[in-house]
Structure 1
Amino acid sequence: MTEQLKQLRNKIDAIDDELLRLINARAQLAQQVGQKKSGVVYRPERESQIFSRLQQANTGPLRNEHIEHLFTEVISICRALEEPLTVAYLGPQGTFSEEAVTKRFGSAVNPMPCSSIDDIFRKVESGAANYGVVPVENSTEGAVGRTMDLLLQSPLKICGELQLPIHQCLMAQQAGLSAIRKIYSHPQSFAQCQTWLNENLQNLTAADRIDAASNADAARQAAADSSAAAIAGKQAADVFGLKICAANIEDNPNNTTRFLVIGNQDVARSGKDKTSLAMATPNRPGAVHELLAPFAQHQVSMTRLESRPSRASLWEYVFFTDIAGHQEDENVARALQALRDNATFLKVFGSYPAA
């Protein structure tokens, strides 16, 4: 070892010692903060402000996504000193939903895999889980209808959101394609990989594409069958001991799924927020225009508008809307009040930091 290399490593060791001291000091302060809070351990608005401030101060060479990942884990560990959170997600282990839990809450949580989106809502409503993470829309395949329907029925609130890039992999016991006679996957993943499958596995018919409850369940079935493959995320291959036959087979390289964090708390303003709501109006000419007019009148930007059939009446619809801003912002509050005067139904799901 050269003297110069030894000096550089000594400097790294000194910095590591200082990092250790500072992280422990941060953890002690976090414990003191926890003792003064009113039982709410997860504060998404505060975490959003921390990430924003650190990313603005970041001079590199670490990229901003590295900074967010690093401090998500630091915050996760400090939070667990107060109370380890239990977070319900669409299981089993190895799903994109599990990856979303880690991205939002870090590794120092108790993950609770659930068999369905309905079960996630039940676990949070009953108190068995502190929070749930549910998919709400995919950039390729659109809205997740079951999540939207349950938001209408449930007393739970939206506490946060995150966007997860979805990279699909074909995996099997062997890395080659020649032995594959059938493929397991979730229907949405099949839809996201249509072009690649048609070009690279032309010998397989539609009957050879077998729907699974989740991508992780597909990987589990492929792990038990030497003639089968699965479409899932890389994490599932690690969990079930499969080899990656082909990576990033999604048709859209920007394929992204948006997830919501659901819980029982209202979230304070972070400075860059989003509000989600559902509303309905009578089915008559001009009614939808009147319904949306308060947003323009009070200069509120609408970032999403999606309709779902109303369960109350035939051919009537509920409009799911995301708007920029927090419901406590003056212009947003005025727009919501105008909506209450005009709409036959209005439910605000929550305000939370925008991803």
Structure 2
Amino acid sequence: MKPIELKGFREKIDAVDDQIVELLAERAGYVKEVGKRKKAAKLPEFRPEREVEIIERMCERNNLLNSGLPCESIATFWLEIISGCRALEKKLEIAYLGPQGTYSELAARVLFGHMVDLVPCYSLEEVLERGEKGQSDISLLPVENSIEGTVGRTLDLLVSAKLKISAEISIPINHLLLRKVGGFNHISRVVAHSQALLQCQKWLDLRLPSVPRLAVESNGVAAQMAQQDEKVVAIAGKLAQEKYELVSLANDIQNEKFNRTRFAALGKFEPDGCGTDQTSIIVGVRDQVGAMHKVVESFAKNLVSLRRFESRPARTTRAHAWEYLFYIDLEGHINDTNVKKALDDVKENSVFFKNLGSYPLFEKLGLPSRLT
């Protein structure tokens, strides 16, 4: 193709880009007006159900246009557009388990985009406390890993949490072996979060069987240690590699290639239903035959599907030995008629009941709910 022909196409692309930015400016103007009205009505700036609605509509329209662009790209574009426009109303502050470079930080970026302020915290307790005290708008907590199961400490904190789950996201976990310098010589130890060490055990047993392993608070801490000592190798993700300028000695070293972690975003508001919702509850039942059967039956007779059902020892001062609480994720919003009826029945057959929140699902990197 001759340069003159390329020039013509590039001029057309430039013209389209000019139209896009003009339309974005128009969109930003409308967002500012919405922001004024939200502020007057004391409504939250973050409306995840609305964001899901926009992104799904754009993905569906993209499919109708046969643009050739994957829905992942469209979703990512709009997540950032929404993030930038939301910041015109208010730049959200997100508390997450630090330090920088953790998968929690990645989850925050995926769910909220880049136009937010991220606050790394030293513990899950601090993450939750910042949201409860109003120091941060959102507290982002890891809930469950597809390989290792639930994050027990998070579940314990949810029992007494004053915040509601307002959104949830699941991101892929791809572990790298990181070092300050290249090569496998003179490695003194492997450091990582305990879950990461378990998730990469097969690879480590095969490639570094005699190297000591040390569990630390997070993979971000591990990456910091590797940055400070060239004899230390860390297990962490791509974000940590970039943050701490480390060399990747090996990629995707986890035992299972399908490895994901769910994160819950907690805030002081409850989203409206959007049609692709999930509700989470905690239930304690009487110590008698058939008590749990009645709870499960309540969901069945109201045609409510359960997505997760898990027991955990109650960790309260009032709990007796071997007393359990049940953590349940179910399909639908608490304002849906069938869900409301089911939960009313559950309350009647429970000694403890807590609604953790109804929220839209962002299940895959760059993609919401049913489009995964």
- State the partner residue of 1:22: 23
Separation in structure 1 between the aligned mates of residue 171 and residue 214 of structure 2, nearest angstrom: 25
**In the alignment, does 2:187 pair up with 1:183?**
no
**Aligned partner of 2:264 among 247, 260, 271:** 260
Q: Deviating runs (4+, > 3 A) in structure 1?
A: none
1:143 aligns with 2:172: no
For 1:202 and 1:305, locate their aligned partners in 2 and report how far apart those are by CA, in whole Å. Answer: 37
Partner residue of 1:281?
A: 285
Return the offset for 1:193.
Answer: 0.5
User: Secondary structure at the residue paired with 2:67?
Assistant: coil
Alignment of 1:98-117 (within 5 A): 98-117=105-124
Q: State whether structure 2 residue 250 is matched by structure 1 residue 246.
A: yes
What amino acid does structure 1 have at the position aligned with 2:61? Answer: A
8 Å contact kept, 1:282–1:316: no
SS in 1 for 2:339: helix
- Give the structure 2 partner of residue 152 of structure 1: 159
Compute the displacement of 1:239 (Å): 1.1
Q: Which AA in structure 2 matches 1:144?
A: V
Bigger shift: residues 108-117 or 51-60: 51-60
What is the DSSP-based 3-state SS (H/G/I as helix, E as strand, rest coil) of the residue aligned with 1:354? strand
Alignment of 1:1-355 (within 5 A): 2-37=3-38, 38-39=41-42, 40-58=44-62, 59-204=66-211, 208-311=212-315, 312-355=319-362
Whether the aligned pair in 2 keeps the contact of 1:184 and 1:228 (CA below 8 Å) is yes
Letter in 1 for 2:22: R
C-alpha offsets along residues 116-147 of structure 1, whole Å, 9 cap, x if unaligned?
A: 11100000001110001110000000000111
Deviation, 1:284, is 2.5
SS in 2 for 1:217: helix
Tell me the TM-score normalised to structure 1 length: 0.97
Give the corresponding residue for 2:366: none
Normalising by structure 2, we get a TM-score of 0.93
- Contact 2:291–2:349 at 8 Å: present in 1 too? no
State the aligned residue count.
Answer: 352
Q: Does the Cα contact within 8 Å between 1:41 and 1:82 map onto a contact in 2?
A: yes
Amino acid of the structure 2 residue aligned with 1:293 = E
Tell me the secondary structure at the aligned position of residue 76 of structure 1. Answer: helix
Distance 2:35 2:175 in 1: 40
> Which amino acid is the alignment partner of residue 261 of structure 1?
A
CA distance in 1 between partners of 2:245 and 2:3 (Å): 42
Query: Percent of counterpart pairs with the same letter?
Result: 41
What are the Cα deviations for residues 184-205 of structure 1, in whole angstroms up to 9, with x where unaligned? 100010011011111111222x
Rounded Cα–Cα distance in structure 2 between residues aligned with 1:313 and 1:60: 60
Q: CA deviation at 1:316?
A: 1.3
Q: Distance in 1 between matches of 2:26 and 2:175?
A: 41
Question: Counterpart of 2:360 in structure 1: which amino acid?
Answer: P
Moved more, 285-294 or 154-163: 285-294
Letter in 2 for 1:244: S
Local SS of the residue matching 2:114: coil
**Aligned-partner Cα distance in 2 for 1:168–1:279:** 35
Question: In the alignment, what sits opposite 2:370?
Answer: none
* Deviation at residue 79 of structure 1 after TM alignment: 0.6
Cα RMSD for the two superposed structures = 1.0
Q: Distance in 1 between matches of 2:223 and 2:68?
A: 37
Distance 2:199 2:68 in 1: 34
Residue identity opposite 1:287 in structure 2: A
Distance of 2:187 and 2:199 partners within structure 1: 19
Distance in 2 (CA, whole Å) between partners of 1:245 and 1:286 is 54
Deviations 1:251-270 (A, max 9, x none): 11110000000011011011
* 8 Å CA contact 1:185, 1:214 repeated in 2: yes
Report the Cα offset of residue 313 of structure 1.
Answer: 1.5
Consecutive unaligned residues in structure 2, runs of 5 or more: 363-372
Tell me if structure 2 keeps the 8 A contact 1:277–1:320: yes
Amino acid at match of 1:230: A
Whole-Å Cα distance in 2 between the matches of residues 230 and 24 of structure 1? 44
**Residue identity in the other structure for 1:331:** N
